[in-house]
């Protein structure tokens, strides 16, 4: 339990501040009609520049991480081929778990890279690829890397891969 303390006033009177605060920003200048006010001019030019130039976060993104269309097509075709080759592996193959791990890493990097691209979000190829990769990754996350994909799901994934590949060829 907290104890209460009694606050008493002191009998001494506070001393007024005897020093004045001087600004370091302004320098005393002799009154002269020939010297222009440089600080004011600098301030006004900086303010004007700030108001005219838009902030960098409002400018469109032309940065290095924005992928070109050719790069998107090439990497998407590589992911399609990797998904197809992984789905057609025999269940008794000893490298299934390793191939599934490689596929998941590849699909995660593809999604992470192209999900940020606003220009690609409306493309049919991106939509179908994203859906297929989501189905593949979701299956392997839920059931493990050695569990076979059911026939219906496998058929749907391969159909989405086909439509994504056709859309890529059409530039969509």
Question: What contacts 149, CB < 8 A, 6 or more positions away?
Answer: 87, 136, 139, 157
What distance in Å separates the CA atoms of residue 35 and residue 171, rounded to the nearest whole number?
Answer: 65
pLDDT tens, residue by residue, 125-159: 889 999 999 999 999 889 888 888 898 999 999 99
The pTM for the full model equals 0.58
The CATH number, out of the four listed (1.20.1290.10, 1.20.1250.20, 1.20.58.810, 1.25.40.10), of the domain defined by the range 69-169: 1.20.58.810
pLDDT at 114 over 90: no
pLDDT tens, residue by residue, 28-70: 555 555 555 577 777 777 776 666 766 654 544 443 344 577 8
What distance in Å separates the CA atoms of residue 120 and residue 117, rounded to the nearest whole number?
Answer: 6
Domain ranges for the chain: 69-169
């Amino acid at each position: 339990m907290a104890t209460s303390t009694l606050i008493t006033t002191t009998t001494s009177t506070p001393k007024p501040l005897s020093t004045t605060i001087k600004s370091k920003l302004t320098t005393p200048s002799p009154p002269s009609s020939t010297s222009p006010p440089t600080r004011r001019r600098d301030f006004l030019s900086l303010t004007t520049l700030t108001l005219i130039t838009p902030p960098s976060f409002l400018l469109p993104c032309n940065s290095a991480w924005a992928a070109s269309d050719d790069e998107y097509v090439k990497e998407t075709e590589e992911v399609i081929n990797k998904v197809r080759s992984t789905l057609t592996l025999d269940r008794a193959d000893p490298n299934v778990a390793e191939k599934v791990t490689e596929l998941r890493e590849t699909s995660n990097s593809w999604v992470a890279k192209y999900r940020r691209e606003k220009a690609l979000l409306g493309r049919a190829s991106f939509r179908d690829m994203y859906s297929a990769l989501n189905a593949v990754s979701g299956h392997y996350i839920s059931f493990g890397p050695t569990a076979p994909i059911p026939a219906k799901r496998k058929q749907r994934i391969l159909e989405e891969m086909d439509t994504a590949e056709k859309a890529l060829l059409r530039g969509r």
